[in-house]
């Protein structure tokens, strides 16, 4: 956004003054300093010098106005390195009532300058048609009784400095605080005061918003690309990840992309605009995945029911949630929402899917829990029912190879008995003891019973 800022002003009503200086802190490279100077005696000339923080500058010339009451001069100076500047104006010989005012303008391209100078009780600076924005600068000196009123018109906000010397005679020298004027109507400023022996001068400077752009690829559609520097804001990358930041004045900008679920390389770019657009400011975006859930206690065999807590390192992400199943199927966002610890009292496989807004879904975490111990072996024939009785109980059906496993048993003594119609098992049963672990190899021999067949 264009701006016209009064950085500093100074005045001196003592006689025999030859120099007047103002300090302009924190100037920005690429901007323009406008220096106003006024003296009561129009027969003297001015010179301008700059120090403290500027290694180079270019004066774009000056404009000199005079009236029967004094002389007014303006310089335009391009800011080089920038920083804290000291502007010093020197008169060719000693003068009375010396004023210097400094402005900093952004951007530095001027379209029109209108100026005027005069004595009497008023001064009107000619009409100007604003461009994108307008800056207004006014400077003046009066000599008369203390407390003489000075007023400004033109819709601008103004400040003034007043000094009174030891004899009670007031001399004032200062400038109007400039503002942006964006109306399309012509603008005229008037300056009035109450003393006919006064001098005044004024300048309007209008400028178009001579701006440039920074563009490139953010690497991801919908990414927010923020920029900070002489101006700041953000834009959104299009469906192909491309972005363009417009209306940027001269200066250095930091460009930083962001999007939930993505990391960017590099994290930011520093770019300096100096009279032209900047293209190809590109980033590489990586789509991030939610971390895989973890379980406590971990998967395993336990002699009693377990309370399982599911955790995830990505739990702080926006929109984070976990969904789970206990039947061995793969969970989706339509599965049961995890809200707290899960009680596992029977053997099962717990599977968890983790999600977060903008991120890739996690890999599915899986943990198999066996509650209690098992007695296993071979029943001797497929389809046999193997019953286990004792401290706890259970049963299983032998598979096609006759193998069986009865789980969920706690420590204690057990009797294992296979059963299948028309079959005789040897031995008819076996006694086993579980003590802190599974019992394997509990085998039987099965033989078809013909006596049952003949009895029919």
pLDDT tens readout for residues 406-437? 988 888 999 999 999 999 999 999 999 999 88
Looking at per-residue pLDDT, the higher value among 108 and 439 belongs to 439
CATH superfamily entry for domain 373-454: Immunoglobulins (2.60.40.10)
List the domain boundaries for the chain. Answer: 3-207, 212-287, 294-371, 373-454
Looking at per-residue pLDDT, the higher value among 345 and 105 belongs to 345
Fold match between 212-287 and 373-454?
yes
pLDDT tens figures, 258-289: 999 999 999 999 999 876 889 999 999 999 99
State the pLDDT confidence band at 99, using cuts at 50, 70 and 90.
low
397: which 2 tokens?
């059906």
33: which 2 tokens?
């300093």
> Cα–Cα distance between 163 and 151 in angstroms, integer?
17
Question: At 353, which helix (H) or strand (E)?
Answer: strand 348-355
Looking at per-residue pLDDT, the higher value among 235 and 144 belongs to 235
Query: How high does pLDDT run on average in the chain?
Result: 76
CATH class of 212-287: mainly beta
Burial of 249-274, coded b for 16+ CB within 10 Å and e otherwise, reads bbbebebbbbbebbebeeeebebebe
Look at residue 256 in the predicted model and tell me its pLDDT: 98
103: which 2 tokens?
């402005």
Report pTM.
0.47
Look at residue 24 in the predicted model and tell me its pLDDT: 77
- pLDDT exceeds 50 at position 389: yes
For 206, residues 6+ apart whose C-beta sits below 8 A from its C-beta are 110, 111, 112, 128, 129, 130, 131, 133, 134, 135
């Amino acid at each position: 956004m264009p701006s016209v800022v009064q950085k500093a002003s100074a005045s001196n009503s003592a006689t025999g003054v030859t120099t007047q200086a103002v300090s302009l802190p924190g100037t920005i490279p690429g901007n323009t300093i406008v220096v106003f100077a006024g003296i009561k005696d129009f027969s003297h000339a001015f010179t301008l010098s700059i120090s403290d923080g500027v290694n180079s500058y270019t004066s774009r010339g000056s404009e000199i106005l005079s009236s029967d009451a004094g002389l007014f001069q303006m310089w335009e100076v391009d800011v080089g390195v920038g920083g804290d500047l000291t502007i010093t104006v020197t008169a060719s010989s000693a003068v009375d009532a010396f004023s210097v005012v400094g402005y900093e303008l952004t951007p530095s391209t001027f379209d029109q300058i209108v100026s005027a100078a005069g004595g009497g009780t008023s001064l009107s600076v000619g009409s100007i048609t604003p461009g994108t924005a307008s800056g207004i600068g006014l400077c003046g000196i009066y000599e008369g009784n203390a407390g003489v009123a000075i007023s400004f018109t033109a819709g601008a906000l103004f400040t003034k400095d007043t000094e009174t010397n030891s004899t009670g005679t007031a001399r004032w020298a200062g400038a109007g605080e400039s503002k942006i004027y964006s109306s399309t109507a012509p603008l005229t400023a008037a300056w009035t005061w109450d003393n006919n022996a006064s001098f005044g001068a004024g300048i309007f400077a209008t400028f178009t918003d001579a701006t440039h752009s920074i563009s490139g690829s953010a690497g991801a559609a919908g990414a927010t690309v923020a920029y900070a520097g002489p101006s700041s804001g953000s834009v959104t990358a299009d469906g192909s990840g491309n972005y363009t930041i417009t209306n940027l004045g001269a200066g250095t900008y930091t460009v930083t992309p962001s999007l939930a679920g993505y990391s960017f390389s590099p994290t930011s770019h520093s770019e300096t605009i100096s009279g032209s657009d900047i293209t190809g400011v590109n980033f590489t975006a990586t789509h991030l995945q939610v971390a895989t859930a973890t379980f406590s206690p971990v998967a395993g065999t336990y002699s009693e029911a377990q309370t399982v807590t599911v955790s995830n390192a990505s739990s702080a992400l926006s929109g984070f949630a976990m969904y789970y199943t206990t039947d061995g199927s793969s969970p989706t966002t339509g599965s049961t929402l995890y809200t707290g610890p899960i009680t596992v009292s029977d053997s099962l496989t717990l599977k968890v899917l983790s999600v977060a807004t903008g991120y890739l879904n996690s890999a599915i975490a899986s943990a198999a829990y066996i509650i209690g111990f098992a007695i296993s072996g071979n029943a001797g024939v497929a389809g046999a029912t193997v019953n286990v009785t004792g401290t706890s109980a259970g049963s299983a059906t032998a598979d096609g190879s006759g193998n069986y496993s009865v789980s969920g048993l706690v420590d204690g003594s057990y009797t294992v008995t296979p059963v299948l119609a028309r079959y005789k098992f040897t031995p008819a049963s076996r006694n086993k003891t579980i003590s802190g672990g599974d019992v394997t190899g509990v085998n039987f021999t099965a033989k078809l019973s013909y006596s049952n067949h003949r009895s029919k």
